[in-house]
Amino acid sequence: MAPQDLLGPPEIHTITTAAPVTTTKKTTNTTPFRPPAIRIRPRMGFTENKSATYLSTGNHCLDFFFHVVPDTPKEQLTKRLELLWNYNPLTTLKLICNLRGVRGTGKSNKEGFYTAALWLHENHPKTLACNVKAIADFGYFKERFSTEFLKVLMFEKLRRKIGER
């Protein structure tokens, strides 16, 4: 379970007032449980055992949760993070914490968590800064968002700066 004190990105805490929306257009719906929107059928694929399966659930949160496993390539993980962040930033934070969760609270996926935290550092540094304590408390006790991880972040920055020259 993700920490209860995650703050989410600073952008979602700004107060905006929107004018109430009124519509007079009436739509007829033939089925009471399905909206009148066009349903797009998800793509089909095959499992390792050659059984038919859906490649996506249509929900980025579920796709991230079920498709990000310890051997997931970094490119695929970052692509899923981008899709998930655009879909729901706070849930993205919770699922990043779930990657590192140990003691039965998550997936214990250390490499996936570090990749996700590095992505968060590169793309949403304020969000990471606001949640460092909550994320550190969620991982393994010996790590505590250790100096090793911070060294990795700093090394990445230096490597990028050297590469730009």
Gap between the Cα atoms of 92 and 105, Å rounded: 16
Q: Quick check: is 7 in a domain?
A: no
Q: Which two tokens stand for residue 1?
A: 């379970």
The answer as to whether 24 is a domain residue is no
Q: Residue 48 carries which DSSP code?
A: T
Q: Quick check: is 5 in a domain?
A: no
Residue identified by tokens 């859906």 is 54
Q: Are 60 and 80 in contact (CB under 8 A)?
A: yes
How far apart CA 135 and CA 129 sit, in angstroms, is: 10
And the tokens for 119?
């992505």
Tens place of pLDDT per residue across the chain (165 aa):
555 677 767 666 554 554 454 544 555 555 555 555 556 677 888 888 899 988 888 888 889 998 888 889 999 999 999 999 999 999 999 999 888 876 777 788 888 988 998 899 889 988 888 887 777 776 655 555 555 666 666 666 666 766 766
Unique residue bearing structure tokens 């997931």 = 72
Confidence at residue 108, expressed as pLDDT on a 0 to 100 scale: 82
Is 12 inside a domain boundary? no
> Number of folded domains in the chain?
1
Residue 116 counted as domain residue: yes
Residue 89 burial (10 A CB sphere; 0-12, 13-18, 19+): middle
Q: What is the pLDDT of residue 21?
A: 47
Model confidence, pTM = 0.62
pLDDT number for residue 105? 74
In a domain? residue 60: yes
Could you give the angle at the alpha carbon of 45 between the alpha carbons of 41 and 51, nearest 5°? 120
Cβ atoms of 94 and 135 closer than 8 Å: no
pLDDT at 84: 94
Evaluate whether residue 31 is within a structural domain. no
Answer yes or no: is 1 within a domain.
Answer: no
Residue 158's domain comprises: 42-164
For 97, the 3-state DSSP assignment is: helix
